[in-house]
Structure 1
Amino acid sequence: MPRSHKPERMRRATAIGLAALALLLLAMPATPSFAQASGHVQVRFVKAGLLVGGGTGSGVLNYRGRNYPFKVSGLSVGITAGATVGRFDGRASGIRDVGDFVGTYSSVGGGFALVGGVNGAHLRNEKGVTIVLQGPKAGLELASNISAITIAWK
């Protein structure tokens, strides 16, 4: 009985179809339309305390070409002694909508400053937005604490 070429043609067609599908999938954007974006953040913050610390400041979020001024206030509980003034620069990521940026952020950390130094912060809010900041600070402080920082639009 002669062998049919139909199964061979079907295998080729299937292989070509799978290759075309793979190319189509590779050509599609890697992120869905509800993707998260990031923005640039600048913050000025003044902090003081003895055992319980508090601070206040202001900043600007640059997100998708627009500037959004905000105010920031915070409370830290733990070992805190001293007072500092800091200017921070960094990125906020995980933003799906600009409104996700405002809220209460938590942070666990510590630091030391004697006249001047470099400080950093890694914050996360309840909406999944993460802010990573670093920058110079001036003053005298010894801190090891848990912080809650609230960001609100001006």
Structure 2
Amino acid sequence: MRSAYLRSVVAVALCSATIAPAMAEKVLGPVSGEVKFISHSADLGVGYTWGKGVLIYDGKQYPFEVSGASAAAIGFSSGDSVGKVYNLQRLEDFEGTYWALSGEATIGQGLSGSLMENNDGVRIRLQENRSGGRLAASPSRLSIHFVKPKANKTTTDAKTPS
């Protein structure tokens, strides 16, 4: 019962701290894409977050990796994140360092929300479903980099032994 109450309080706090979807475009800029990714966080005061995902922009998918540090959190959690990307004018503006404010209360299953922004004015508003055990209300510094496609090696170039 107490866990359900804690989750409700955190969910209300996250909802009031994030912007309602109808007003988001006014404040965050135009919606220009979507992101989906899986991430993991491990913290003991200061922590580390890492993961992989995909940016959906202009009808195409661009895989990326995310990693970075956070403060004022304890525990471990992992989960799926989905979000809207705002104010992305050029694809190359998506990569870089983002500052994020996030909150999470995960005991078994939990909710998390983040609002991220980089130096090019690109903003990402995330909703996350997490599992594990983690409590966080922290600023984070995350880096996002596109994953380069791997070249396919052909076997026709290989020499056969004589």
Per the normalisation by structure 1, the TM-score is 0.73
Matched, 1:90 2:83: yes
In the other structure, the counterpart of 2:107 is 114
In the other structure, the counterpart of 2:150 is none
- Distance (Å, rounded) in 1 between the aligned partners of 2:111 and 2:101: 17
- Distance (Å, rounded) in 2 between the aligned partners of 1:118 and 1:80: 15
- In structure 1, give the amino acid aligned to 2:70: S
Contact 2:102 2:112 (8 Å CA) reproduced:
no
Match of 2:129 among 129, 136, 145: 136
Report sequence identity in percent. Answer: 35
- Distance (Å, rounded) in 2 between the aligned partners of 1:75 and 1:91: 22
Matched, 1:42 2:28: no
- Residue 66 of structure 1, CA deviation: 0.6
CA shift digits 1:2-39 (9 cap, x unpaired): xxxxxxxxxxxxxxxxxxxxxxxxxxxxxxxxx96610
Match of 2:64 among 66, 70, 79: 70
Structure 1 residues 141 and 37: alpha-carbon distance in aligned structure 2, compared to 1, 3 A threshold: closer
- Residue 128 of structure 1, CA deviation: 0.2
Question: Structure 2: where are the runs of 5+ without partners?
Answer: 1-28, 148-162
More strand by share: 1
Secondary structure at 2:92's aligned position in 1? helix
Per the normalisation by structure 2, the TM-score is 0.70
- Distance (Å, rounded) in 2 between the aligned partners of 1:109 and 1:138: 16
Contact 1:72 1:151 (8 Å CA) reproduced:
yes
- In structure 2, give the amino acid aligned to 1:124: E
Secondary structure at 1:99's aligned position in 2? helix
Larger radius of gyration: 1
Matched, 1:145 2:145: no
- Residue 110 of structure 1, CA deviation: 2.5
Contact 2:102 2:113 (8 Å CA) reproduced:
no
